[in-house]
Amino acid sequence: MKGFNSKLIHGNINNDSTRNFRSLKTPIYNTASYDFKNTADLEDAFHGKGNHFAYSRTANPTVTELQNRLKTMAGATDCLCVSSGMFAVSSVVLTLCGSGDNLIASKYLFGNTYSLLAETMKSLGIETRFVDFENLNEVEQNIDQNTRGIFMEIMTNPQLIIFDFEKIAKLASQKDIPLIADNTALTAYGFFCHKYAIDIEVISTSKFISGGATAIGGAILIHQNTKWQYIPKLDSEFAKFGEDAFMKKISNEIFRNIGGCMSPGNAYLKLLGLETLSIRIDKICDNALKIAKFLQQHPKIKGISYNLLPNSPYYERARKYFRPNIGGCLIKIEMENKTQAFAFSDALKMIRRGTNFCDNKSMIIHPASTIYCNYSKEELGEMQIYEGTLRIAVGLEDFEDIRDDLTQALLQV
Ligand SMILES: *Cc1c(COP(=O)(O)O)cnc(C)c1O
């Protein structure tokens, strides 16, 4: 199998440990524990030998099948599924960094990721230097001998910035620092981390992969493995396991001890979602481009950002880095002021008011009063979020219905 869809639908047919009864769908192994034929097998399980399952906080057959599929689809060498996108991010940081270490992160981040780094990790002695990744000198100047990772998102939300990934990856390679990318907004279908020397890919499977807001989950995908030798926290793992050092550390310590496992029921929903991933993303992105073109011409819309509009500053990068015609589901628009933005949002009938995106249902949110309500006006301005900014997350409905709902709501503004 060579094609993206065949791989994500079938995974590795000959290596699916869940196919005992040749069931066509991966069953939900809703069990906490497992028994063993003999004591030697039990001993092996505790030494990580053989293909045994011992306890579902550590490994579960349904979750393992999801890991295998995600790994195949992303071209990764390893995958670990976890309880949420936030656990994926936090456990990666805790695997690479100890007290006194630091990270370089893009200043444009998903809100909880920003809070995780600025507050939670800071309280553990892990410092994050937030910089503008459009300015590579600034990134480089902030790197020192205690830097253990460079962290960015593939297309920021809601600014929709696409960085120059090639240049960032080159810098990370020169400095031997792991490059971590949150690829939630595109997934491996839209942006193939494997091609761009990204070492660790994290995704929230709660978004596109869940099949439509069905369950929370996250995944960590490993692409490169030559940099672990430079991470002091991985010293003993590197000596024992070499290229597997990161995966051994995260799965045998951080993930297991903190207890961040994905439930088998949720893994089943993600396996279902995965099978239709590309057709949903294709249709959503097709809708999003049509909606962006429609809104761009509307007199009541003061400004619009969508990266497949030729006048977007990131148009060329979207075409270079992303799969053709894939620009993501998010559109950022500017209304005159907060009153107009609220009136427009309130007048929508089909499009839901809510915080999700990459969902089957179209949604709208006013970022300044919700996701970013704890920031000052100046901080918001720096993040390109204004009083009149609205974020539209385009869904899978028929284009005409999304357009008509927007049209009738704009008439009431
Ligand atoms: C949603 C999201 C997360 C967090 O994922 P959860 O599954 O909600 O924990 C992290 N990063 C990005 C870019 C997201 O959109």
Ligand 1: residue whose CA is nearest its atom 8: 85
Looking at the DSSP assignment, which residues form a beta bridge with residue 182? Answer: 153, 202
The rounded percent of the chain whose pLDDT value lies above 70 is: 99
* 153 C-beta closer than 6 A to ligand 1: yes
- The string of pLDDT tens digits covering residues 319-337 is 999 999 999 999 999 999 9
Asked whether residue 40 carries a pLDDT value surpassing 70, the answer given is: yes
> Which atom belonging to ligand 1 lies closest to the Cα atom of 358?
15
Ligand 1 centroid from CA 204, angstroms: 5
What's the pLDDT score for residue 47? Answer: 87
What's the whole-number mean pLDDT along residues 253-267? 97
What's the whole-number mean pLDDT along residues 347-376? 95
Ligand 1 centroid from CA 135, angstroms: 25
Ligand 1: residue whose CA is nearest its atom 15: 184
Residues 249, 206, 258, 12: what is their CA dihedral angle, to the nearest 10 degrees?
A: -40
* 84 C-beta closer than 6 A to ligand 1: yes
* 270 C-beta closer than 6 A to ligand 1: no
What's the whole-number mean pLDDT along residues 354-378? 93
Type of residue numbered 103: L
What's the pLDDT score for residue 174? Answer: 96
DSSP string of 74-139, one letter each residue: HT-SEEEEES-HHHHHHHHHHHH--TT-EEEEESS--HHHHHIIIIIIHHTT-EEEEE-TT-HHHH
Helix ranges restricted to H, 276-398: 277-296, 315-321, 338-347, 377-382
What's the pLDDT score for residue 98? Answer: 98
* 391 C-beta closer than 6 A to ligand 1: no
What's the pLDDT score for residue 12? Answer: 74
* 341 C-beta closer than 6 A to ligand 1: no
Ligand 1 centroid from CA 242, angstroms: 30
What's the pLDDT score for residue 9? Answer: 87
What's the rounded Cα separation, in Å, for the pair 52 and 92?
25
What's the rounded Cα separation, in Å, for the pair 160 and 56?
38
* 182 C-beta closer than 6 A to ligand 1: yes
Determine the Cα angle at 245 with ends 240 and 251, to 5°. 115
Torsional class of 180: left (φ above 0), alpha (ψ -120 to 50), beta (otherwise): beta
The CA R_g of the chain, rounded to the nearest whole Å, is: 22
DSSP string of 325-342, one letter each residue: T---SEEEEE-SSHHHHH
Residue 28: alpha-carbon gap to chain centroid? 24
Torsional class of 49: left (φ above 0), alpha (ψ -120 to 50), beta (otherwise): beta
> Which atom belonging to ligand 1 lies closest to the Cα atom of 357?
15
What's the whole-number mean pLDDT along residues 361-381? 93
Ligand 1: residue whose CA is nearest its atom 7: 85
Query: Which pairing describes strands 200-204 and 179-182: parallel, antiparallel, or unpaired?
Result: parallel
Confidence category of residue 350, pLDDT binned at 50, 70, 90 = very high
Asked whether residue 273 carries a pLDDT value surpassing 90, the answer given is: yes
Asked whether residue 19 carries a pLDDT value surpassing 70, the answer given is: no
Asked whether residue 7 carries a pLDDT value surpassing 90, the answer given is: no
Confidence category of residue 398, pLDDT binned at 50, 70, 90 = very high
Mean pLDDT in the chain?
A: 95
> Which atom belonging to ligand 1 lies closest to the Cα atom of 218?
7
What's the pLDDT score for residue 65? Answer: 94
> Which atom belonging to ligand 1 lies closest to the Cα atom of 216?
7
Confidence category of residue 225, pLDDT binned at 50, 70, 90 = confident
Tokens 């979207």 belong to 318
- The string of pLDDT tens digits covering residues 104-142 is 999 999 989 999 999 999 999 999 999 999 999 999 999
* 199 C-beta closer than 6 A to ligand 1: no
What's the pLDDT score for residue 241? Answer: 94
Confidence category of residue 379, pLDDT binned at 50, 70, 90 = confident
Residue 108: closest CA among 140, 89, 130, 127: 130
* 113 C-beta closer than 6 A to ligand 1: yes
What's the pLDDT score for residue 154? Answer: 98
What's the pLDDT score for residue 171? Answer: 98
Confidence category of residue 100, pLDDT binned at 50, 70, 90 = very high
Ligand 1: residue whose CA is nearest its atom 6: 85
What's the pLDDT score for residue 293? Answer: 98
* 359 C-beta closer than 6 A to ligand 1: no
What's the pLDDT score for residue 16? Answer: 60
Tokens of 376: 């000052």
* Residues near 189 by beta carbon (within 8 Å), at least 6 away in sequence: 4, 73, 208, 277, 278, 281, 323, 326
Ligand 1: residue whose CA is nearest its atom 5: 85
Residue 45: closest CA among 55, 60, 31: 55
What's the pLDDT score for residue 51? Answer: 84
Residue 156: closest CA among 136, 137, 132: 132
Confidence category of residue 238, pLDDT binned at 50, 70, 90 = very high
* 86 C-beta closer than 6 A to ligand 1: yes
- SS3 of 238-292: HHHHHHHHHHHHHHHHHHHHHCCCCCHHHHHHHHHHHHCHHHHHHHHHHHHHHHH
Residues 195, 143, 103, 371: what is their CA dihedral angle, to the nearest 10 degrees?
A: -80
Determine the Cα angle at 151 with ends 64 and 203, to 5°. 30
* 108 C-beta closer than 6 A to ligand 1: no
Tokens of 233: 């926290």
* Residues near 190 by beta carbon (within 8 Å), at least 6 away in sequence: 281, 285, 322, 323, 326, 328
